[in-house]
């Protein structure tokens, strides 16, 4: 390590004047502060903080990178319904991650400003003065369930969609469980809660049945229990409270006895339902959800364990961070080419919320592709379309991804093969183009680009073409709209006669990798993705122009190199006019 890296690491020793200022600030507010710990870069103070009618005990933990990061302040002896972690007593003095911390402010000043607000907000909420409380605090719910997640095990997850719950205290629950371990062990798993049910009778609430979720999902019977607050803070305590409710209900309804029985299972999930804050305001109380998993290994109590499992609500709300997704959910895209540009285009379109994506590419993934392809070793040797479709539908199950591993435009001299083809290549391609709301050509093939431009213009489907130039000195993204006055031929003629400047390229960077009989060019995905991302933006703009501005250009050219040196990505763009040499557009 360098001499600088070996210097003193304690901030209070590096900046003794800052330490003196921090301690003086506590004294200025009448607070008695004593050092509890000054080891391992962690300074912790025990503070007796004066209020109007009493003194409260605070623990103040300075960041080891003080003053750049805010402190941690806990109030172990105060019971507050809001802005205090019910598990460790941590006070929410600042909105996490909002950039509200001022590194020039002394910690005692922060406490002085915010502690009074915390007490005021809790009082206003108790008095149901919500308008006044909203003027002081962030208007967002603070669910108790979120605090339990910190106690959950690391490798298991439950998904649910807030199903209807019977007006009872407990009942059976249906799950599907998918082991995450390669050997099928449920030491780590993902589960989906299909529904909660009453002890008897018909229950017409809809099932949670997401389509296309890959995995070895198997049905499992669990149970649900409604608990009242305050609740235990640990998994064992929650399970004991749930068992007590079930035992009480069994005395009145013997049909609930199976909820107490383990049977021959080695895993059981118990749903804990309770009143929680799920929305801000006076009407924000609803069902909170916690999930416990019990596991049994062998016989006896020693082989029994219980843990909290982290859970996530899964619905169309998954796209809440991307408003444009709502306009893309029913859209279909045909992607030609799943290589260094197309694989990333495929992933981003699916993440953006595209309803259906059909990928066309004849090639397989090779180890050498990994430096600029979406997937690594897990895909080596697989057809690109198969590897991509499996990966995308496994990880983004709201999209439908169709793999078509054909080589467009390939002919044959085998008469028997030619006569047996059905449907014909052209009719099948035209069907896909006609059914798509947009076509993306990321093939980097001049032949394919010309053919797709012709067919899309003929059928009336918008086309986005994107590719990188040789040596990754630049790239091109072209948008051809139906009914536009100019076409792909016009653009190429403009390039040919200099009417539109050709983006930079380096023909000397073309190589033929060992074991490959097709030339390619050098470069990495960190440059190629400049093209991929503009292809995606252009596609989304054409598919949902009311939600995402498409812009008014037809062609765009990327430059990553200027005068032989790397430059920040620079895009030129413009509209496309008919070219006189184009037989289809030039005479109009």
Q: What percent of the chain has pLDDT over 70?
A: 94
Confidence class of residue 523 from pLDDT cuts 50, 70 and 90? confident
CATH class of 11-139: alpha beta
Q: Do the domains 11-139 and 325-410+419-574 sit in the same CATH topology, yes or no?
A: no
Tens of pLDDT, residues 218-248: 999 999 999 999 999 999 999 999 999 999 9
The candidate with the shortest Cα–Cα distance to 41, out of 66, 60, 76, is 66
Tens of pLDDT, residues 125-175: 999 999 999 998 889 899 999 999 989 999 999 999 999 999 999 999 999
Kindly state the tokens that stand for 194.
């299909």
Kindly state the tokens that stand for 64.
């080891």
The burial class, CB within 10 Å (0-12 / 13-18 / 19+), for 428 is middle
pTM over 0.85: no
Residues in the chain: 588
CATH of domain 325-410+419-574: 3.40.50.720
What is the domain partition of the chain in residue ranges? Answer: 11-139, 145-314, 325-410+419-574
Task: Please report, for residues 216, 243, 360, 385, the alpha-carbon distance to residue 382 in angstroms, rounded to integers and kept in the order given.
Answer: 21, 50, 14, 8
Tens of pLDDT, residues 123-133: 999 999 999 99
Kindly state the tokens that stand for 352.
């953006």
Contact between 30 and 40 (Cβ < 8 Å): no
């Amino acid at each position: 390590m360098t001499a600088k890296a070996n210097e003193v690491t304690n901030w209070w020793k590096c900046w003794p004047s800052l330490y003196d200022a921090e301690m003086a600030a506590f004294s200025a507010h009448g607070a008695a502060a004593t050092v509890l710990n000054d080891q391992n870069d962690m300074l912790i103070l025990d503070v007796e903080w004066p209020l109007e009618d009493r003194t409260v005990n605070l623990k103040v933990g300075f960041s080891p990178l003080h003053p750049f990061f805010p402190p941690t302040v806990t109030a172990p002896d105060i019971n507050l319904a809001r802005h205090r972690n019910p598990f460790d007593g941590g006070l929410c003095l600042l909105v996490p991650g909002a950039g509200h911390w001022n590194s020039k402010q002394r910690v005692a000043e922060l406490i002085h400003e915010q502690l009074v607000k915390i007490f005021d907000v809790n009082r206003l909420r108790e008095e149901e003065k919500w308008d006044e409380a909203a003027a002081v605090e962030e208007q967002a719910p603070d669910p108790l369930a979120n605090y339990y997640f910190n106690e959950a095990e690391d490798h298991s997850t439950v998904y649910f969609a807030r199903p209807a719950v019977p007006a009872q205290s407990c009942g059976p629950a249906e799950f599907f469980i998918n082991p995450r371990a390669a050997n099928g062990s449920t030491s780590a798993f993902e589960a989906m809660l299909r529904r909660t049910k009453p002890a008897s009778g018909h229950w017409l609430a809809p099932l949670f049945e997401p389509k296309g979720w890959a995995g070895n999902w198997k049905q499992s019977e669990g149970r649900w229990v409604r608990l009242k607050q305050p609740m235990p803070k640990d998994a064992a305590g929650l399970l004991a409270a749930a068992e007590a409710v079930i035992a009480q209900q069994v005395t009145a309804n013997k049909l609930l006895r199976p909820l107490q029985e383990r049977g021959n299972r080695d895993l059981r999930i118990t749903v804990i339902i309770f009143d929680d804050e799920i929305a801000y305001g006076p009407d924000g109380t609803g069902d909170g959800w916690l999930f416990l998993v019990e596991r049994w290994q062998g016989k006896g109590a020693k082989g029994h364990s219980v843990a909290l499992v982290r859970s996530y609500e899964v619905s169309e709300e998954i796209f809440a961070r991307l408003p444009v997704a709502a306009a893309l959910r029913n859209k279909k895209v045909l992607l030609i080419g799943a290589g260094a540009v197309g694989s990333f285009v495929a992933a981003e379109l699916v993440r953006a919320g595209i309803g259906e994506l059909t990928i066309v590419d004849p090639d397989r993934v090779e180890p050498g592709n990994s430096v600029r392809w979406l997937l690594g070793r897990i895909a080596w040797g697989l057809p690109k379309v198969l590897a991509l479709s499996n990966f995308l539908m496994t990880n983004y199950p709201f999209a439908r991804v169709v793999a078509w591993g054909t080589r467009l435009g390939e002919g044959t001299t085998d008469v028997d093969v030619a006569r047996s083809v059905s449907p014909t290549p052209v009719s099948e391609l035209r069907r896909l183009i006609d059914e798509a709301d947009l076509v993306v050509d990321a093939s980097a093939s001049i032949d394919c680009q010309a053919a797709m431009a012709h067919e899309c213009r003929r059928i009336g489907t918008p086309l986005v073409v994107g590719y990188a130039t040789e040596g990754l000195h630049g790239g091109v993204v072209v948008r051809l709209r139906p009914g536009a006055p100019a076409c792909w031929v016009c653009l190429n003629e403009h390039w040919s006669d200099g009417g539109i400047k050709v983006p930079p390229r380096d023909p000397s960077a073309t190589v033929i990798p060992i074991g490959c009989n097709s030339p390619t060019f050098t470069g990495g995905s960190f440059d190629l993705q400049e093209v991929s991302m503009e292809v995606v933006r252009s596609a989304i703009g054409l598919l949902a122009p009311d939600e995402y501005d498409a812009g008014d250009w037809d062609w765009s050219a990327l430059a990553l190199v200027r005068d032989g040196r790397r430059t920040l990505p620079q895009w030129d763009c413009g509209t496309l006019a008919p070219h006189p040499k184009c037989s289809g557009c030039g005479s109009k």
